[in-house]
Amino acid sequence: MRTFLVSLLILFSCQAKGQLLFNFTWKSKPISLTRYYPLGEKDSIQFTDLKCYLSNIELKGKGNKDYQLASAVYLIDAEDSTSFVLDRSIDTKNFKSISFTFGLDSIINTSGDLEGDLDPILGMYWAWNTGYIHCKIVGHSSLVHTPSHLFDFHIGGYRKPNATYFKLELPLTSSALELDLYLLFNEFLNLNLLHQLVVPGKLAFEIATVLKSSIRLK
């Protein structure tokens, strides 16, 4: 509950200032790692670990001025509400669109830079030949028929044709980006049949495609 309240306070204070945010949501409401969410009529889901990478974020100006965010890579971590704030110094009202990469492109994956938000200690790095996990979604659900009821999805891979990073450009209609996980768990994943994925491949690409359609400005 404390994490959820802190997230809301950051969300509202930053929106008032027109600064740039990113958060994980469920039906457009910020996800709390301590809360259970209805899944269907009788089942539920709880998230315990949510992380994703955003990179190469740029705001497109209404005139000729564009603005590149200071860091090339941002790791969003649901356990760290300060990571939701991407930029504290820019007023998004001065810009018409935002472009960014969800995940890390092949250049970053193969750069050998293992510092800052790319540090393997953060749990988002596989190995030199498979690169980074672009999005990690872990939790528990009554639909998973194992003793722990654990589901564990590590979505990554930078090699074509199953690269799981993608570039987006969206009209800048607000200052808050969100990744809503409701669609993924209600219309794509069947936790009765699949509750773990920790390697790159076609299925990871398909899940990334659903995540792409679930990112929007709130």
pLDDT at position 45 over 70: yes
Assigned token pair, 16? 């008032």
Query: What is the reported pLDDT for 19?
Result: 84
- DSSP for 133-182, please give it: EEEEEEEEETTS-STT-EEEEEEE--STTS---EEEEEE--SSEEEEE-H
Could you tell me what percent of the chain has a pLDDT over 70? 91
Higher pLDDT, 64 or 37: 37
Give the pLDDT confidence of 142-173 residue by residue, as tens digits: 999 999 999 999 999 999 999 999 999 999 99
Q: Is the pLDDT of residue 10 over 70?
A: no
* pLDDT of 184 higher than 50: yes
Identify the pLDDT of residue 14. 43
pLDDT in the model for residue 34: 85
Residue range 77-134, pLDDT digits in tens: 999 999 999 998 888 888 999 999 999 999 999 999 999 999 999 999 999 999 999 9
Distances (CA, A) of 77 to 24, 67, 95, 123, 162: 9, 24, 26, 11, 24
Using a CB cutoff of 8 Å and minimum separation of 24, what contacts does 64-69 make? 67/95, 69/20
